[in-house]
Every structure is written in structure tokens, then in C-alpha cells.
């Protein structure tokens, strides 16, 4: 907390910049949803190129989605998460797969 600035009878207390910077950004889960048409290989490739997952992690996440219907590809601040969802949908459309990706608050 900064020292109060005094002017007559009033005083103003200014919050310091370092205090503001400690606020954590809200995080969002990027989800992948299962479907019957997208290939396993394409989902693994998406996890590698969009979410920078290793091949082993990508196969594990893909199988989790395949078996459970939905799974978490990654957790990011809102702008990054939104950009990842858009990239997945763009690559899926270009490759004519119905793969769905959505966001949810953590």
C-alpha cells in the first residue's frame, strides 16, 4: 500500500502496480469431444501441433476422449484457450473432420 497523498482534509490511497500484477488470470479448459468419424491419428496430430503435447501424452488424451466422450487438451488464460479452440476447428474443417472443441472455466 502506498503512502496517502494529503491535500487539505482529504487523503487518497493509491494501489501500487505490484499489487495489481499479483491477480491471477482466470483459466479455461480446452476440451476435445469424441465423434465416430475423426481418425485417431488426426486427433493425436492436433494434440501435438496445437497443444504441444508429446506423442505419448497425445495418444493418452486421444484414448481418454475416445473412451469417455470428452477430455482436456490443455488449460490456458481465456485468449489463448479461445485461439486454440479456433485453430482446432479450422484444421478440422480443412481436413473435413467433425472434431469438436469447446472451452469451460476451470
Instruction: Determine, following the binding rule CB under 6 A, whether residue 32 of this chain makes contact with ligand TYC.
Output: yes
- DSSP summary character for residue 1: -
Distance in Å, CB of 20 to ligand TYC, minimum? 39
Angle, helix 55-68 to helix 40-49, in steps of 10 degrees? 130
Q: Considering only residues 45, 60, 66, 89, which one is a binding residue for ligand TYC as defined by CB under 6 A? A: 66
The residue (of 1 and 56) whose beta carbon lies closer to ligand TYC is 56
Question: Total binding residues for ligand TYC by CB under 6 A?
Answer: 13
Stretch that binds ligand TYC, among 7-15, 38-46, 74-82, 84-92 (CB under 6 A): 38-46
**Contact status: 38 vs ligand TYC (CB under 6 A):** yes
- 30 counts as binding ligand TYC under rule CB under 6 A: no
Strands (E), 35-99: 70-77
CB neighbours of 101 closer than 8 A, spacing ≥ 6? 30, 31, 32, 33, 73, 84, 85, 88, 89, 92
Amino acid at each position: 500500500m502506498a503512502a496517502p497523498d494529503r491535500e487539505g482534509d482529504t487523503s487518497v490511497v493509491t494501489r501500487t502496480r505490484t499489487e495489481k500484477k499479483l491477480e491471477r488470470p482466470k483459466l479455461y479448459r480446452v476440451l476435445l469431444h469424441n465423434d465416430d468419424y475423426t481418425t485417431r491419428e488426426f486427433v493425436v496430430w492436433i494434440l501435438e501441433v496445437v497443444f504441444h503435447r508429446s506423442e505419448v501424452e497425445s495418444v493418452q488424451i486421444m484414448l481418454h476422449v475416445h473412451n469417455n466422450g470428452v477430455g482436456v487438451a490443455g488449460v490456458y488464460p481465456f485468449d489463448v484457450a479461445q485461439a486454440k479452440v479456433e485453430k482446432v476447428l479450422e484444421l478440422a474443417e480443412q481436413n473435413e473432420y467433425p472434431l469438436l472443441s469447446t472451452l469451460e472455466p476451470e
